[in-house]
Structure 1
């Protein structure tokens, strides 16, 4: 298969899929078992694996890890409030539950922080492993939970081998799907497995960034901005009522 997709193409696909997925949450709250919302959420499964892949790539290519972490950290904080507003979640994490308490941007930030710790020299190795353990588990209440962190670590570790990256991703996602099936929402748990649909797209990735350098910053702006719009529409449609599960 000829490789014709650069990182910009894949990021645009991720943005479109994400918007479709979040619109499904808005217009069909609580993951109903109807064909249309299920189809929309399946399309939305393309977003997370593309984001995971390019976070790992970003870590590999960054010339300044501290600036990269700072950018992701600020992005995670802004996105927390936008995500909670969008779906009617209390801004104080864990106040109303342990699942979906903040956006997937927090695990992305944590994943890069963990990779940095893993590659850094620590005098006390036991302390290093404890810090990594705590950081990974700190992502548990977020969207995609610790799984996002563990998948990114696996993608980074097997860089250049798409089959191994996909296998590692699916093993962790299957665990997440099982937990979601039994403790969150059965339909949601099954739908998560459709992240595998990203594989044929990633096989077409040519390793190039593309000419539109502004697209990187567009995503940083678009993610919280579209969540704010969803939050406004949510309040107009339902009042200040949660719409996830």
Structure 2
């Protein structure tokens, strides 16, 4: 079967995530060229994760077990994430909120009640990685009926909301340090579009647990490496 399987998408997401977090953790020690490349590639990760969350929601036989798995690994991951990356909540909490919105979208009879609940959950996601943009992208990937549009339009949210303002800041200050933050959504999210359009609906190799386990493990390894090798135990960028 031609096209891209969910296994391939997960591998791309894992590589991009590793590059992105390496940038944040080792930011003061990396040359500008490396930051541009790694940040740009890292921008592929969340759109792929959001897309696969929607796919997983459609195919799961037990939504409670799916949510419980996300919650368990979100809690475990918060320890290395809080130690080495940031003080907000990690991206698995963002995905969990997105999953809740998907469930409410399909089960609540009152559209008004749904939008109130969704607004509350989106507001709560401001405490998480990717902020309110994450759940909005997830909802759009479910609610937009046209297949091509439900891939392209959600990716315009981080491009317009984060990428273009960051590029404007870079051009105004002409500070090379700002350019990686513009390329993260501009290059990464744009490059994600053909990947997701090529998705063929197949699972590929099964790796249900690998991504969940890899997420906290790679943050811990990167953080410990910076501390042990460089003597720097400060929080990431």
Which TM-score applies when normalising by structure 1?
A: 0.82
Contact 1:53 1:155 in 2 (8 A): yes
Give distance in 1, aligned partners of 2:51 and 2:160.
Answer: 18
> Structure 1 residue runs of 4+, over 3 Å off?
124-129, 176-182, 185-189
What residue in structure 2 maps to residue 95 of structure 1?
none
Contact 1:24 1:37 in 2 (8 A): yes
What residue in structure 2 maps to residue 59 of structure 1?
57
Give distance in 1, aligned partners of 2:119 and 2:79.
Answer: 26
What residue in structure 2 maps to residue 203 of structure 1?
197
**Closer, same or farther: CA 177–102 of 1 in aligned 2, 3 Å:** farther
Give distance in 2, aligned partners of 1:164 and 1:128.
Answer: 20
Give distance in 1, aligned partners of 2:128 and 2:108.
Answer: 29
Equivalent residue pairs, number = 226
What residue in structure 1 maps to residue 4 of structure 2?
5
The offset of 1:235, in angstroms, is 2.2
What residue in structure 1 maps to residue 133 of structure 2?
147
Contact 1:110 1:139 in 2 (8 A): yes
**1:23-63: CA deviation from partner (whole Å, max 9, x where unpaired):** 22233249x88222111110111111111110011111111
Give distance in 1, aligned partners of 2:71 and 2:151.
Answer: 25
Pairing of 1:209-224 with structure 2 (within 5 A): 209-210=203-204, 212-213=205-206, 215-224=207-216
Pairing of 1:66-215 with structure 2 (within 5 A): 66-87=64-85, 89-90=86-87, 101-121=88-108, 127-158=113-144, 161-177=147-163, 186-187=178-179, 189-191=181-183, 192-194=185-187, 195-210=189-204, 212-213=205-206, 215=207
**Closer, same or farther: CA 3–84 of 1 in aligned 2, 3 Å:** same
Alignment partner of 1:229 is 2:221: yes
**Closer, same or farther: CA 207–126 of 1 in aligned 2, 3 Å:** closer
Give distance in 2, aligned partners of 1:173 and 1:104.
Answer: 18
Give distance in 1, aligned partners of 2:145 and 2:59.
Answer: 12
The offset of 1:153, in angstroms, is 0.7
- Consecutive unaligned residues of structure 2, counting only runs of 5 or more, are 170-176
Contact 1:79 1:103 in 2 (8 A): yes
**Closer, same or farther: CA 230–202 of 1 in aligned 2, 3 Å:** same
What residue in structure 2 maps to residue 15 of structure 1?
14
CA RMSD of aligned residues (A): 2.5
**Closer, same or farther: CA 233–67 of 1 in aligned 2, 3 Å:** same
